């Protein structure tokens, strides 16, 4: 019985939260890794693309709510998501036209593009704050739980409870669908293969008649769609606050580097590795140890949650020191 209780506790406090957080990181890291593979720079504005997109989704959600349109038990934000993606894509393609294309034509060094993206990041951050404000916003309407701790206890008779929030389930389902769609696109479609070819060998792709500007546009579109989806899911799960998206950039970069920059499969794996490490290191294991028959003195928490970003840093440094191309062989940084 205690073993079951320990398992349920691990599931409730570690596995489910880490899985949904990992899914959000994975979606973000996919965008970073695609842009790195095709445009060959690390996009610092990615976190704020998530914030900007989520802000658009929130505005549209409010509009839909005012019109009385909803999805019943599901959050209205899901309905607003495609519109949010479209608006953000227009903005991001605009930044490419106004900023990145200039440096691309000049064949500037990647570090120059990185610095340009830092500039875009500040502009987007300021713009998002102007549009929607700096306060914390909750926009998750509909049902809150798929099942609650109480439901679970009643069903099973265990003393330990397990809950699954709607936002967590949606995160996992949407991420699975997005990954499935993305990998199918990259592996099966002509345009997806052209993107991979361009990422592999730019000059040979040119010789083969692949239009680089088309590939670049497509990459921005996909990366933006993934970023806005990730940003919305993160906001639904944890509430929306512009500054949080700036902070989440670090674990997202860590995830894409751990998985191997430029390697989409690696980005997904990296997202979950970072999320599980972060949650496992900051979770107090006392309860579970007690179920397993130990009598721990302290909380068994390796690191307090304020320092969770240190986990990303440590993972990043270890990977860069010992396996700079990442776990699944991306490009070396």
Partner 1 sequence: MAEPYLSATAMRGGYGKADILNGCTLTVDKGQIAVIVGPNGAGKSTAMKAVFGMLALREGRVTLAGEDITGLTPQERVRKGMGFVPQTHNIFPTMTVEENLEMGAYIRQDDFTGTLEQVYDLFPAVADKRKQNAGELSGGQRQQVAVGRALMTRPSLLMLDEPTAGVSPIVMDELFDRIIEVARTGISILMVEQNARQALEIADIGYVLVQGANRYTDSGQALLADPEVRRTFLGG
Q: Which stretch binds partner 1 (CB under 8 A): 12-20, 84-92, 194-202, 299-307?
A: 194-202
- From candidates 149, 204, 317, 318, binder to partner 1 by CB under 8 A: 204
**Binding of partner 1 by 203 (CB under 8 A):** yes
The size of the interface with partner 1 (CB under 8 A), counted in residues, is 15
Closer residue to partner 1 in complex, CB, 81/210: 210
List the one residue out of 254, 288, 245 whose CA is nearest residue 272: 254
Q: Which stretch binds partner 1 (CB under 8 A): 128-136, 160-168, 197-205, 213-221?
A: 197-205
Q: Is 21 exposed, middle or buried (0-12, 13-18, 19+ CB in 10 A)?
A: buried
Closer residue to partner 1 in complex, CB, 78/205: 205
**Binding of partner 1 by 213 (CB under 8 A):** no
Residue 157 to residue 52: CA distance in whole angstroms: 45
**Binding of partner 1 by 206 (CB under 8 A):** yes
**Binding of partner 1 by 89 (CB under 8 A):** no
> Are 272 and 10 in contact, with CB atoms under 8 Å apart?
no
**Binding of partner 1 by 308 (CB under 8 A):** no
> Are 177 and 27 in contact, with CB atoms under 8 Å apart?
no
**Binding of partner 1 by 19 (CB under 8 A):** no
Closer residue to partner 1 in complex, CB, 112/191: 191
Strand partners, 164: 147
**Binding of partner 1 by 205 (CB under 8 A):** yes
> Are 247 and 72 in contact, with CB atoms under 8 Å apart?
no
Residues 55-74 that bind partner 1 (CB under 8 A): none
> Residue 308 to residues 68, 95, 245, 274, 280: CA-CA distances in angstroms?
40, 32, 15, 10, 10
Closer residue to partner 1 in complex, CB, 154/211: 211
> Are 315 and 274 in contact, with CB atoms under 8 Å apart?
yes
Q: How far, rounded to the nearest angstrom, does the alpha carbon of residue 229 sit from its chain's CA centroid?
A: 8
CB of 227 to partner 1, least distance (A): 24
Q: Which stretch binds partner 1 (CB under 8 A): 167-175, 208-216, 293-301, 317-325?
A: 208-216
- From candidates 68, 157, 209, 293, binder to partner 1 by CB under 8 A: 209
Q: Which stretch binds partner 1 (CB under 8 A): 55-63, 113-121, 167-175, 195-203?
A: 195-203
CB of 206 to partner 1, least distance (A): 6
**Binding of partner 1 by 193 (CB under 8 A):** yes
∠ CA 209-214-217, nearest 5°, is 155
**Binding of partner 1 by 178 (CB under 8 A):** no
Q: Which two tokens stand for residue 237?
A: 């799960």
**Binding of partner 1 by 217 (CB under 8 A):** no
> Are 202 and 212 in contact, with CB atoms under 8 Å apart?
yes
Residue 239 to residue 237: CA distance in whole angstroms: 6
Element housing 216 (H / E): helix 212-238
CB of 187 to partner 1, least distance (A): 9
**Binding of partner 1 by 194 (CB under 8 A):** yes
DSSP 43-59: -TTHHHHHHHHHHHHHH
Would you tell me which residues interact with partner 1 (CB under 8 A)? 190, 193-194, 196-197, 200-201, 203-210
């Amino acid at each position: 019985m205690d073993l079951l209780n320990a398992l349920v506790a691990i599931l409730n406090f570690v596995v489910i939260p880490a899985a949904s957080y990992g899914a959000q990181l994975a979606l973000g890291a996919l965008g970073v890794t695609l842009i790195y593979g095709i445009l060959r720079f690390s996009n610092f504005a990615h976190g704020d693309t998530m914030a900007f997109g989520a802000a658009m989704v929130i505005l549209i959600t409010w509009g839909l709510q005012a019109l009385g349109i909803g999805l019943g038990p599901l959050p209205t934000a899901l309905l607003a998501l495609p519109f949010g993606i479209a608006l953000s894509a227009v903005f991001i393609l605009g930044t490419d036209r106004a900023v990145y294309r200039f440096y691309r034509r000049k064949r500037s060094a990647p570090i120059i593009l990185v610095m340009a993206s830092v500039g875009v990041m500040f502009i987007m951050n300021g713009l998002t704050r102007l549009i929607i404000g700096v306060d914390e916003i909750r926009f998750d309407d509909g049902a809150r739980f798929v099942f609650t701790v109480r439901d679970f206890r009643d069903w099973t008779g265990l003393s330990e409870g397990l809950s699954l929030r709607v936002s967590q389930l949606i995160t996992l389902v949407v991420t699975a669908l997005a990954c499935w769609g993305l990998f199918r696109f990259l592996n099966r479609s002509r345009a997806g293969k052209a993107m991979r070819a361009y990422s592999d060998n730019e000059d040979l792709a040119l010789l083969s008649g692949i239009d680089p500007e088309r590939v670049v546009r497509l990459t921005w579109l996909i990366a933006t769609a993934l970023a806005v989806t990730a940003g919305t899911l993160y906001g639904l799960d944890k509430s929306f606050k512009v500054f949080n998206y700036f902070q989440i950039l670090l674990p997202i970069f860590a995830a894409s580097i751990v998985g191997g920059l430029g390697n989409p499969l690696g980005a997904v794996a990296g997202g979950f590795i970072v999320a599980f490490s972060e949650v496992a290191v900051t979770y107090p294991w006392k309860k579970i140890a007690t179920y397993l028959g130990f009598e721990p003195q302290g909380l068994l928490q390796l690191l307090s949650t304020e320092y969770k970003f240190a986990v990303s840093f440590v993972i990043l440094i270890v990977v860069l020191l010992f396996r700079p191309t990442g776990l699944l062989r991306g490009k070396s940084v």
